Chain A
Amino acid sequence: MGKAKVNQGIDLSSYKDVWVFAEQREGEVVNVSLELLGIGRKLADARNSKLFAVLIGACAESYTESLIQYGADGVLFVKDDKLNQYSTEMYTQVISNLINERKPEIFLVGATTIGRDLGPRISARVGTGLTADCTRLEIDEADGKLLQTRPAFGGNLMATIITPDNRPQMSTVRPGVMEKCEKDTSRKGNVEIINNKLDFSKDKVDFVELVKHMKEQVQLEEAKVIVAGGRGLGNKEGFELLDQLADKLNGVVAASRAAVDQGWVDHDRQVGQTGKTVRPKLYIACGISGAIQHVAGMHEAECVIAINKNEDAPIFNVANYGIVGNVYDVVPKLIDALDQVDDILKAVE
């Protein structure tokens, strides 16, 4: 271990197929893994190869079925109760052994707090490159290589990364970035139970307990309407106003990094490159300048409204509708107007 090297002139043609790490938490496969199967399916088709999900620990049969229904050709299932709880070392061993034995061409991992721990460790053990937080993955038609596009410098620049001489080509992708395939309940595939020889003595980290937060989880990724606030709100109290607007629209409140850094809002509400990626029907940006790292997390919203007193704020470049004005002036009027929609529409007719 710790002895792998890169750029050793390996035979690239001996590597084939696309693998996705099917991450389970307490026996449930997380959503981002299904999203990865969506893009993994496209990549496998473009390479005329197969798509496999790698599942570790105990998981109900319904989950192995759903991995196939969401696009996998097969599941490599390392079914071992000792692996139910995530362990950096043991998961790295399992997957690195499998990679060395079966040689996948591409390996995708969800950029969860676990995936971002596991991905780099595996890449270092097998001796290959890893590209973090990719927002686009495609096959280069000319040479079949994986083109991995990701934001750099806080999203001010996009870079397309390749891993020309090492395999597998590894990428992590954040939740919400890729789209799932349509679920196909007629799809069939093989679930192969893997019996791996593992050295548990290598694991120097003892699991003591898992503490779950009691607070209500904010499901920004699932929200249809999001009202987001930024530095322009000026204070924490401004978010109470946004709460009222969100209530009127059955939406949830989110924030830019600037507002989170000020301590006005919890980090789990942050939208942007280092926060959540969202795709609601309606996104109302209040007092958000629209730095590109914020836009990276919300530009796939169907309809964006920007309210900002600075008419040059870049948020207006990505807004379907822009109102130049003070949030504290515009938002209360918008809340009122939402109570009078019929009257307003009549007045227009």
Chain B
Amino acid sequence: MRIVVCVKQVPDTNEVRIDQATGTLIREGVPSIINPDDKNALEAALQLKDQNENVEVVVLCMGPAQAKEAIKEALAMGADRAVLLSDRAFAGSDTWATSTILAAAVAKIGDFDVVLCGRQAIDGDTAQVGPQIAEHLDLPQVTYVQNIAKNGDKLRVERALEDGHYVLDVEMPVVLTAIKELNEPRYPSVSGIYNYFDDSERPEILMWNVNDIDVDMTQIGLKGSPTKVNKSFVPTQKFEGERLEGSAKEAVRKLIVRLHERQLV
């Protein structure tokens, strides 16, 4: 059984700051992490590997050269090998173009049974790439997966809803997207961490560029993206509030008066 796990390296959005003057992202000093939902996807793959014979976990990542750091962490957690897709031709890709590229790479890895993605990345929050990979590969998909078990030659998965979940049986190959309720991602093992620092011990990281995959150049990158950013701006803050000064008791009493004026108490 071969499982391809798609991971993305993202800025930790809890730490992201915007330059108010220029409206651009301050990336300096912002740590990069493996996208949280993708870690759950990886953990799910590793658990299937732990529980079954002959499971190979291949990590697939698209990004600049420094995304290698995310791949190394995934390998330290227990993935068998990895592919980094990196090319200037990929820059500016929206979800259509990104999923087109990733689908082509998954096809090239080949002979897979499961493609696991995180539900969504914290820098975009679109949740589109998983389903779009599935469509490009003409595979079934189950998103919002909160449990996975083997059921004969199928997988039995639980798919979260707002007020419950579906239980579904799905044929392989299949694309699944993971949510954090699926599992608790493991920490890298001691030997994994050791290998992390040692290029000779670490499993192979293949570097692929646009020439390594079978992809229509008109469908990728900025030009191949159907959606375009028309403009971006820093959201404005619209209230001019009132500070209620004094001791806690005084402030609370002032608040009661204000709320009474607004007929809220």
Contact = CB atoms under 8 A, between A and B. Distances in A.
B is bound to A: yes
A6 B224 CA distance: 7
Contacts of A337: 252-253, 255-256
Nearest to A320: B241
Contact of A153 (B25, B99, B128, B224): B25
B169 A303 contact: no
A6 B226 contact: yes
A159 B231 contact: yes
Interface string B224-243: 11111111111101110111
Given A131-B227, A205-B169, A292 B235 contact: yes
Contact of A321 (B124, B143, B244): B244
Interface string B139-169: 1111110000000001010101111111111
Contact of A120 (B132, B174, B228, B232): B132
Given A113-B161, A344-B257, A162 B228 contact: yes
Contacts of B227: 129-131, 161-163
B102 to A, nearest CB: 12
B96 interface: yes
A160 interface: yes
B135 A2 contact: yes
B183 interface: no
Contact of A116 (B123, B127, B163, B265): B127
A204 B166 CA distance: 15
A128 B253 CA distance: 56
Contacts of A157: 18, 23, 25, 232-235
B5 to A, nearest CB: 19
Contacts of B167: 208-211
B164 A161 contact: no
B169 A273 contact: no
Contacts of A163: 226-228
B186 interface: no
A89 to B, nearest CB: 7
A320 B251 CA distance: 14
Contacts of A133: 125-126
Contact of B239 (A304, A326, A341): A304
Contact of B264 (A127, A282, A317, A347): A282
Nearest to B136: A2
Given A113-B161, A132-B128, A320 B237 contact: no
5 contacts: A120-B95, A153-B16, A155-B235, A320-B241, A326-B248
